[in-house]
Structure 1
Amino acid sequence: MDRDTLTAYDAAAAAFARDWHEQPPPTDLQALVRRFFVPGLTADVGCGSGREVAWLAANGFPARGFDASDGLLAEARLRYPDLSFAHAELPDLTGIAPASFDNVLCETVIMHLPHEAIAPAVRRLLDVVRPAGVLYLSWRVTPNDDLRDAHGRLYAAFDANLVRAELATAELMLDEEVVSASSGKTIHRIVARKTR
């Protein structure tokens, strides 16, 4: 994780959590989960304040949330004390065993990584999916050059082929660039089934 981005999330975790929970619900993401995810244990990597973990758990997908920000994890535990949240950071995801989840959700996280960490992060996300399980991966699209927002968060600019190359052994079921129903930002999202 980019250190300045992590510092920004930790420093203003309550404000970020409030903003996310006040956004419109991510109905497009929810529709894709219902369409593509298989029954079983689901990880939300980069779970933030836990909004998607709560939705997953309430809609038939037992879920665990993971995040690199201890501040955001504290917000998630405060909002959802009955759900499971733990510290894990891309690209390593230390503490998460290979092939341990039927589904993995990673919504708009990898653009916060330094360029050299993006490919290893995608490989590791697929690694924690069980065979025949599903990975949903999205990132905010930044044209041209990397940028930082007013909080200091990194938005890396990179070609989607970097991600596709790391998913070459998987079956791509969705690969599109859209405007998020929740944030209103342009995102690229891929849904892949692990074939082995």
Structure 2
Amino acid sequence: MPDHDVVRRSYDTVADDYTARLHDELAGKPLDRALLASLLEQTEPGAPIADLGCGPGHVAAWLAERGASTVGIDLSPAMVETGRSRFPKVEFRQGDLLELPGADREFGSLVALYSIIHLAPGELPHAFAEAARVLRPTGLALFAFHVGEETRHLDEWWGHEVDLDFRFLQPARIAGLLEEAGFTVEMSMERAHYAGEVDTRRAYLLARRGGS
């Protein structure tokens, strides 16, 4: 099992650089914006949207700018503090994907963009069960991740010492685990990397929580 403290410390270390470099990344990601807009359109009016593994909160802020009530949740306290100072429209909470700081059925929808890639394979079912727990019946969840079987390790990132594993995932396996957690996968798609992104293939799954 991974040491989540190691992941937390690594993201604390790069929080300032991460924010400076990626705070406006959605400007160059038209497909991501379209998927987020679709999620927002289908979210129960007035229901908050959770951004799991939100980093500095730029995705939650993009949704908030379009009228959503958003809650950013991240393992890294430095990311949370950076987000609070930069995006006052977003509520931030520190927390782990395996023990989300949210009430049962609190959120109308949720997004988890490249956050499940730091979990061990055996932790994914627990993470998806937690996502289902905090999501309202028939609420939507949008997941994004790198496609493949490999694990890439970083011990240096933007000149900072880190200790991070990035696990690539197979869409069919993730879809199966989501189904086991009570979701119905409504959309699965892939794209090539955009200019300026790491050269990986990206997958998106849109899944709806069961109604019970």
TM over 0.5: yes
Sequence identity (%)? 22
Tell me the number of residue pairs that the alignment of Structure 1 and Structure 2 aligns.
194
CA distance in 2: counterparts of 1:182 and 1:42, whole angstroms: 29
Give the CA deviation at 1:188.
1.4
Q: 1:22–1:59: structure 2 CA closer, same or farther, 3 Å change rule?
A: closer
- Secondary structure, aligned partner of 1:64: strand
1:179 and 2:182 aligned:
no
Give the CA deviation at 1:43.
0.6
1:9 and 2:11 aligned:
yes
CA distance in 2: counterparts of 1:91 and 1:106, whole angstroms: 13
Q: Name the aligned partner's letter for residue 49 of structure 2.
A: T
> Pairwise CA RMSD of aligned residues?
2.1
User: 2:94 maps to what in 1?
Assistant: 87
1:23 paired residue among 22, 25, 33: 25
Deviations along 1:96-127, one digit per CA (max 9) or x if unpaired, are: 12211001111110001122212211221122
Contact 1:65/1:86, CA 8 A, preserved across alignment: yes
1:32 paired residue among 5, 15, 35: 35
User: 1:102 maps to what in 2?
Assistant: 108
Contact 1:105/1:135, CA 8 A, preserved across alignment: yes
Give the CA deviation at 1:172.
1.6
Contact 2:16/2:82, CA 8 A, preserved across alignment: yes
1:170 and 2:183 aligned:
yes
Q: Name the aligned partner's letter for residue 15 of structure 1.
A: D
Q: 1:129–1:186: structure 2 CA closer, same or farther, 3 Å change rule?
A: same
1:139 and 2:154 aligned:
no
- Secondary structure, aligned partner of 1:98: coil
Give the CA deviation at 1:180.
5.0
Q: Name the aligned partner's letter for residue 56 of structure 1.
A: L
Q: Which moved more, 1:1-10 or 1:50-59?
A: 1-10
Q: 1:105–1:183: structure 2 CA closer, same or farther, 3 Å change rule?
A: farther
Give the CA deviation at 1:70.
0.5
CA distance in 1: counterparts of 2:52 and 2:10, whole angstroms: 18
CA distance in 2: counterparts of 1:193 and 1:98, whole angstroms: 16
Q: 1:82–1:57: structure 2 CA closer, same or farther, 3 Å change rule?
A: closer
Contact 2:26/2:59, CA 8 A, preserved across alignment: no
Q: Structure 2 unaligned runs (5+)?
A: 158-162
User: 1:155 maps to what in 2?
Assistant: 166
Contact 2:145/2:168, CA 8 A, preserved across alignment: no
CA distance in 2: counterparts of 1:96 and 1:180, whole angstroms: 32
1:43-62 equivalences under 5 Å are 43-62=50-69
CA distance in 1: counterparts of 2:33 and 2:106, whole angstroms: 22
- Secondary structure, aligned partner of 1:49: coil
TM-score, length basis structure 1: 0.88
- Secondary structure, aligned partner of 1:174: strand
Higher RCO structure (Cα 8 Å, ≥6 apart): 1
CA distance in 2: counterparts of 1:33 and 1:16, whole angstroms: 21
User: 1:129 maps to what in 2?
Assistant: 135
Q: Name the aligned partner's letter for residue 112 of structure 2.
A: C
